[in-house]
Structure 1
Amino acid sequence: MKTLLIFLLFLITNKLCFAQDNLDKEKLLEFYQTQRYAEAANYLSTIYPAETSDIKALTQIAYCNMMAGKLVDAEKGYQKINELQPKQIPILFSLANINSRRGNKRVAGDYLQQIIILDSTNFNAYKRLADYTDSVELKLKHLQKANKLNSTEADVAFDLALVYRDQKRYQPAYDVLKIAIAADTSNMILQQALLPMANQLKKYNEVIITGEKLLKSGADGNVVLDVGKAYFFLKNYKKALGLFQMLERMSMQSESVFYYISLCFREMKNYEKAVKYAMLTIDESISPNISAYYNLLGGIYDEKQQLNLAASAYKKGLSYNTNKNIYYRLGLLYDLKLKQPKAAINYYSLFLKSKDLEADDQPQIDYVKVKLAELKK
C-alpha cells in the first residue's frame, strides 16, 4: 500500500513538472495582453490535468474563465480552490463577484459575510454588501460601517447620504457629503447631492454659491430646481421665477415646479398667472389614470352589491375626467340594479356621445341603443 501511494505521488509530481516545463509563457502572456481570456483558459487546460490540485494553475484558469464570461466554469474553478485552501479572501471575492454577475445576490452576500468574519475591517466587503441587500436597515448598517472605514470614498458617501435623505435625516446626510467633498472638491456628483440636504437645513446661501458654480457646467434640472428653491426662500422671487421657468422651457415641468412658479407670481402680486399655475399644479398632481382607478373601485363595489358606494365611486372618477367606460357602467347600474330609468338614459346617452368610442366598443354601442329605445317608450 505504501509503495502504491509513493508511486501515485511520483506520477502527480511528474505531471505537474511536465506541465510547468511545457507551459509557453510568452504565448500565455500574448493571450493576456490581447485579452483573449477564453483562449488562455483553453490553453492552460491543455497543459494542466483536469484533476490538478495546483492552486496557481487553478487560479489562472478560473480567472481566465471569469474574464471570458464563462462564469459557470469560473465558479467551479474557484470553488475547488476554496475547498483546497479555504478562507482565502481574494477567492471569496471572486466567488462573490461571479454570483453577483449571475444574479445570485444572496449567495454573493454569503461569500462577503465570510470575508467580514475573516476581516472585520474590509471596506470593499461592506460596500458591496450594501448593494446586495433589499433591507433598508441592513443597507444602512453596511454603508455606515464602510463610511466609518473610509469616510472620503465618494460612492459610499453618496449612497449613504441618499439613505439618510429618504429617512429625512438631513443633517447626517449633509455631514457625510461634506467630508467626502472636502477630499474631492471637484466632485460635481457629490456637490449636486448636497444641495437638497442644504436646502432642508436652510443653508440657502450655500446652495446658491455651490449651485451657481454647478450651473456654469450645464443646466442640470435638479440643480436648477434646488437653486430656485434657495432663491425663493431668500425671497428673491424674480431670480427664483427665472430658474423655475427655465425648467418649464426645458420641458422639465412638474407639480413642484408649477407650485413654486405659482407662489412666485403670488408674492409678486401677479394673481392672474398665480391662478394659472396653481391650476397647472393641481392638474400635474392628478394621475391621468385616476378615472380608470375609480372605475375599478366602482366595479368592485358593484360586484359586492354595494350599489350606492359603486355609484359614488363612478361619479368621483367622472369629476376628474370623462370616461366612456364609467358612463356605460353607470347606465347599467341605474338601469338594471337601481331601477332609475331617467338616470340610466342620461348615462347611456353620454356613453354614445363619447368622442373616444372605437370599433371594439360596437357591441356595447348596439346594446345601449336597444336599451335607450326600450327606456324611452
Structure 2
Amino acid sequence: MKTWFLLFLFVITNLVAQTGKADPAKLLEYYENQHYAEAAQYLQSMYPDDTRDIKVLNQIAYCNLMAGKLTEAEKNYIKANAIQPDNPAILFSLAHISSKRGNPVKAKSYLQQIIRLDSLNFSAYKQLAVYEDAPEIKLKYLRKANALHSSDPDVAYDLAMAYKDLKQYQQAYEVLKTAIASDTENFTLQQAQLPLSNLLGKYQEVIDTGKQLMENHTDVNVMNEMGQAYFYLKDYQKCIMIYKTLEDLGIRNEGTLYYMALSYRELKEYDHAAIYAQKTIDEAVSDHITLYYTALAGIYESKSQFNDALEAYKRGLTFSIHNTIYYRLGLLYDLNLKQPKNAATYYKLYLKSKPDQEKEKEQITYAKERIALLAGINK
C-alpha cells in the first residue's frame, strides 16, 4: 500500500509540475479518501474547459469514472482521443465506459481500433470475446487470446466451454490442461476438465483429480463425475456409494439414478436394480426414456420376470420407435415366452427399421435365420 501511495504521489506531482496549478497534497487527500467526484471538480476548477493537455484530460476522466459519472468521464476521454487518437489506454477506457452504459457495439468498435493498432493485444481480444454473441466470431477471438496467453484462466475456461459446445472435447481438454499446468491449484479449471476427461475415457484421471478437489471442497458436480468414472472402471460399489450419498442429500437426476440401476444390475442385485430403473423412468424428462425402459426390461429378463420385461419393452415403444427394442422383443418371444409367431413379427419389424448394417451385422444375420426357422414352426 505504501508503494502505491508513493507511486500515485509521483503521478500527481508530475501532473502539477507540468501545469503548475493543482495542489498535490490536496489531490492526494481526495484519492486517499476515495473522494473522486470532489477530485474531478477540483481539477476542472484548475484548468479551462478547452484544455488540450492529455494528462489533465485523462486525470479528470479517470476521477469521473471512479465516481460513477460515466457521461462526464466519456466526454473527457473523447476529448483526449480526438487529440491523441491512437492511444490504446484511452480506447480501453472508452470501451469500458460503453460497456458499463450497456452499449457493447460501441465497446467493440473501440476494441477493434486497438486490434488495428496492435494485432497482438491480448486484453483487446479477451474483451472482444466477452462482448461477441456470434459463436464463430467469439471462438475466433478466444482462440487468438489463448494463443497469446495460454495460461489466462478466464480465456482458457471460456474457450474450453466453446469447444465443448462444438463437441470438440480433445481441444477443450488440451486448452484446460495447458492453463492448469500454469496454475495447479486452480480448482475451477480442474473441475471444468472433469466432464471432458470422462467423455475422453480418462476415468482414472477423473478419480484422482476428483479426490483432490473433494479435499478442498465437497461439490456435487465433482461427485457426479466421479460416480460415472467409477462405473466405467467397473467399480460399481463405489459408483453406488457416491450416488447414494447424493440421493440422501436430496440430489438426484435421471443420470445418477440410471447409473445406480446399471451398477446394481452388474452386481446382480436385481431387486435394487429394478427399483432404480423405475426411479430413473419416473425422473426422466429427456428423450432417453426409451433407453431407460430398455434397461428396466433387461433387468426383468435377468430376474426371469418375462411378462414384466414384455410390458417394459412395449412401454418404451410408446415413447419412440427403437430397433433395439424390436430385436429384444423378438428374442423375448422366441426364447423365453415361446411364442414363435410374435417372435417372427418383431424380428421382421427389427429388419424393417433399417438397423446399422455394420454395427449390427450379427443381430441382422440372427434375425433372418430365426425368421426362416420360425416360418417352418408356424406352418
Equivalent residues of 2:16, 2:24 under 8 A apart: no
How far, CA to CA, are the matches of 2:244 and 2:235 in structure 1? 14
Relative distance call for 1:18 and 1:179 in structure 2 (3 A) is closer
- Residue 264 of structure 1 pairs with residue 263 of structure 2: yes
Relative distance call for 1:46 and 1:271 in structure 2 (3 A) is same
Letter of the aligned partner of 2:231 in structure 1? F
Partner of 2:68: 69
Alignment of 1:307-322 (within 5 A): none
How far, CA to CA, are the matches of 1:19 and 1:92 in structure 2? 24
Partner of 2:109: 110
Q: How many residues align?
A: 274
How far, CA to CA, are the matches of 2:97 and 2:254 in structure 1? 43
Alignment of 1:185-204 (within 5 A): 185-204=184-203
Partner of 1:174: 173
How far, CA to CA, are the matches of 2:99 and 2:272 in structure 1? 53
How far, CA to CA, are the matches of 2:17 and 2:199 in structure 1? 69
Partner of 2:3: none
Task: Give me the identity figure in percent.
Answer: 54
Alignment of 1:155-304 (within 5 A): 155-286=154-285
Equivalent residues of 2:16, 2:22 under 8 A apart: no
Query: How high is the TM-score relative to the length of structure 1?
Result: 0.70
Partner of 1:132: 131
Letter of the aligned partner of 1:209 in structure 2? D
How far, CA to CA, are the matches of 1:72 and 1:251 in structure 2? 50
Superposition deviation, residue 248 in structure 1:
1.4
Relative distance call for 1:18 and 1:177 in structure 2 (3 A) is closer
Partner of 2:55: 56
Superposition deviation, residue 217 in structure 1:
1.3
How far, CA to CA, are the matches of 2:110 and 2:27 in structure 1? 30
Equivalent residues of 1:19, 1:48 under 8 A apart: no
Letter of the aligned partner of 1:203 in structure 2? K
How far, CA to CA, are the matches of 1:122 and 1:286 in structure 2? 46
How far, CA to CA, are the matches of 2:224 and 2:112 in structure 1? 41
Partner of 1:150: 149
Partner of 2:25: 26
Superposition deviation, residue 251 in structure 1:
2.2
Please state whether the residue corresponding to 2:20 is helix, strand or coil.
helix
How far, CA to CA, are the matches of 2:16 and 2:140 in structure 1? 49
How far, CA to CA, are the matches of 2:16 and 2:216 in structure 1? 61
Superposition deviation, residue 193 in structure 1:
1.0
After superposition, the C-alpha distances for 1:128-185 in whole angstroms (9 at most, x for unaligned) are 1110011111111101000000111111111111111111111011111111111111
4+ long deviations beyond 6 Å: 16-19
Relative distance call for 1:18 and 1:50 in structure 2 (3 A) is farther
How far, CA to CA, are the matches of 2:231 and 2:116 in structure 1? 51
Please state whether the residue corresponding to 1:202 is helix, strand or coil.
coil
Query: How high is the TM-score relative to the length of structure 2?
Result: 0.69
Partner of 1:375: none
Please state whether the residue corresponding to 1:216 is helix, strand or coil.
helix
Letter of the aligned partner of 1:279 in structure 2? Q
Superposition deviation, residue 112 in structure 1:
0.6
Superposition deviation, residue 54 in structure 1:
1.5
How far, CA to CA, are the matches of 1:39 and 1:121 in structure 2? 38
- In terms of mean alpha carbon deviation, does 186-195 or 119-128 score higher? 186-195
How far, CA to CA, are the matches of 1:143 and 1:207 in structure 2? 26
Letter of the aligned partner of 2:284 in structure 1? S
How far, CA to CA, are the matches of 1:101 and 1:181 in structure 2? 31
Superposition deviation, residue 114 in structure 1:
0.6
**Cα-Cα RMSD:** 2.0
Partner of 1:12: none
Letter of the aligned partner of 2:177 in structure 1? K
How far, CA to CA, are the matches of 2:277 and 2:69 in structure 1? 58
Unpaired runs of at least 5, structure 1: 1-15, 288-318, 321-377
Letter of the aligned partner of 1:130 in structure 2? A
Superposition deviation, residue 18 in structure 1:
12
How far, CA to CA, are the matches of 2:149 and 2:37 in structure 1? 36
Superposition deviation, residue 81 in structure 1:
0.9
Superposition deviation, residue 286 in structure 1:
3.0
Equivalent residues of 1:152, 1:179 under 8 A apart: yes
Partner of 1:42: 41
How far, CA to CA, are the matches of 1:80 and 1:239 in structure 2? 66
Superposition deviation, residue 245 in structure 1:
1.4
Alignment of 1:342-353 (within 5 A): none
How far, CA to CA, are the matches of 1:104 and 1:249 in structure 2? 47
